[in-house]
Amino acid sequence: MSPNNRTALLVAALLCCVAGSAFAQDIPATSAPGENRNSLTIGGGAALMPSYEGSNDYIISPAVAARGQVAGFSFSTRNTQLFVDLIPNPSGPSFDFQLGPVAGINLNRTGRLVDPRIKALGGRKLAVEAGGFVGIGKTGLITSDYDSLNLRVAYVHDVSGIYRSYVITPSIDYTTPLSRKAFVGLSVSANYAGAGYSRAYFDVDAAGSARSGLPVFSGRKGWKDISFGTVLGHSLTGDLTHGLGIYAMGSYTRMQDSYAASPVVSIAGSRNQWFGALGLGYTF
């Protein structure tokens, strides 16, 4: 199984409101004040996704991941990253200030490549990323005491020397329970990437041009993409706070600026990126 088929991309969809080529955000809180605030959700299923960032070839990938909360401290996997909020979440309708570390891996062009021109350019090694995030959320906003709106900015830097740069991700998401058994979420996010990210994944040098037939290209730092996502969840047993549930999501990503102009996208791929996932999750 390729590394791409072992990623945690799906649960960002299953357990979160996905934003971005990726994909993120929170399941609505449904615990009333005084209830047990410890929880763990794990999930798995299948996702249809581009074979690399900017690809117009799609692959089906299985994946698993998790999220949870202990004594008010929350953690979650989002795409291939782990977020840990070091500020305890308050119970009941309130503001939630968020701050903590982010650690993860970047698997772009490490897995199965379909287009022969991209194969000729060559794959990439797995990149390890580390950084942090800050945000603010509000629970109990419009529809009930349990809907939530979250604004967040995350920063990660490559610490493995693969692309030797950074990615900044602002995002906003809204989730609301439709009942004790169902919820819906919407999200918008964007990625601003440094010049090293372009050099590693989107540039084409003279040697790569000779191998692939793609023109020489040198990009620059800037906005890499903007994404819009939605997720639906419904409990099959119990409710949103406990039991088995089924989740479906979809997202659309539009490549931006010099990243969209790269021949990796404009000739061999597409600015338009689609993602869909279906799977099961269990909340303890």
The structural domains of the chain, ordered by start, are: 3-283 (2.40.160.40)
The token pair at 98 is 């968020």
- Read off the pLDDT of each residue in 222-238 and give the average, rounded to a whole number: 95
The token pair at 89 is 């979440």
C-beta atoms surrounding 201 within 10 Å: 24
C-beta atoms surrounding 95 within 10 Å: 10
Q: Between 284 and 203, whose confidence is greater? A: 203
Handedness of CA 55, 58, 60, 66 (dihedral sign): positive
Model pLDDT for residues 64-122, shown as the tens digit of each residue: 778 898 887 899 888 889 999 999 987 778 899 999 999 999 999 998 899 999 999 99
Model pLDDT for residues 4-17, shown as the tens digit of each residue: 333 333 333 343 33
Q: Where are the beta strands (DSSP E) in the chain?
A: 39-50, 58-70, 73-78, 81-85, 95-106, 127-139, 148-158, 166-177, 182-193, 222-235, 243-255, 272-283
Model pLDDT for residues 231-284, shown as the tens digit of each residue: 999 999 989 889 999 999 899 999 999 999 999 999 999 999 999 999 999 998
Who's near 265: CB < 8 A, 6+ residues apart?
A: 54, 202, 255, 259, 271
pLDDT at position 179: 94
